[in-house]
Amino acid sequence: MKTIVVSLGGSILVPSIGSHNFSAYATVLKDLAVKYRVFTVAGGGGEARRYIQVARDLGMDEAAADDIGIMVTRLNAALLAGALGPAAYPRIAETYAQAREYGESNKIVVMGGAIAGQTTDAVAAVLAEYVGACALLNITSVDGIYAADPRKDPRAERYNHLTPSRLMEVIRKTQMGAGSNTVFDIVAAKVIERSDIPLFVMDGRDPRAIREAVLEGAFSGTVVCKGRPKKLPV
């Protein structure tokens, strides 16, 4: 069985206070697990940002605030594992070595953040290397990688395909503005560049779109890889 890593942004798992989609994403992950060995990474979303802000208000340093963010990602990971029930390995992997070990159970392995100074994009990219994944899926609330933030510039171009080195350039440019929030973490982009595992970035606000993309070849978004664009299913 081939292995895939699926990174689910916190903003799609918990779109707003009081609403959540854990069950819907768990159903899709179980469908993918029929064909692939699945490792999944949960993001922290708005909840992480709110707690991080509280940490800053309290005068905690940035690394300590990151640790708070990691705790929120692990909360979301635990809820996702709960929604997966017996299909998931019952513990949340806190390190890549644990994730690999838990994967030997052939159950879906769930992970949150790992270390300060990055986001779960980087966790997913490193995990993809560790477990020998043939593809990394970044499921977010934006339908791909753009030349500029599409929420600020509606005319910004969306890329269908980028090489890893071009991705680094795009991130560097979009990082210039103060407080800007890039669609993909620079640490993650560096890992993608060296590992050459194809990265598929797509809008997964409708969980069915993930199933259609991965299993039925209906992917729409940005593919990051060297050479010609790779296609799903891998």
Site of interaction with ligand UTP (CB under 6 A): 9-11, 43-45, 48, 52, 66, 69-70, 73, 113-121, 123, 140
**Which C-beta is closer to ligand UTP: that of 117 or that of 227?**
117
**Which C-beta is closer to ligand UTP: that of 149 or that of 212?**
149
**Which C-beta is closer to ligand UTP: that of 66 or that of 232?**
66
Token readout for 86 is 């017996």
**Which C-beta is closer to ligand UTP: that of 138 or that of 225?**
138
For residue 225, which of 140, 147, 133, 153 has the smallest C-alpha distance? 133
Q: Residue 228 CB, nearest distance to ligand UTP (Å)?
A: 27
Q: Residue 224 CB, nearest distance to ligand UTP (Å)?
A: 15
How many Å apart are CA 97 and CA 129, to the nearest integer?
11
How many Å apart are CA 208 and CA 213, to the nearest integer?
9
Q: Residue 123 CB, nearest distance to ligand UTP (Å)?
A: 5
Burial class (CB in 10 A: 0-12, 13-18, 19+), 67: middle
The closest residue (CB) to ligand UTP is 69
How many Å apart are CA 174 and CA 149, to the nearest integer?
7
Q: Residue 47 CB, nearest distance to ligand UTP (Å)?
A: 9
- Quick check: 22 and 83 in contact, CB under 8 A? yes
Q: Residue 92 CB, nearest distance to ligand UTP (Å)?
A: 13
Token readout for 60 is 């905690």
Q: Return the DSSP state at 179.
A: T
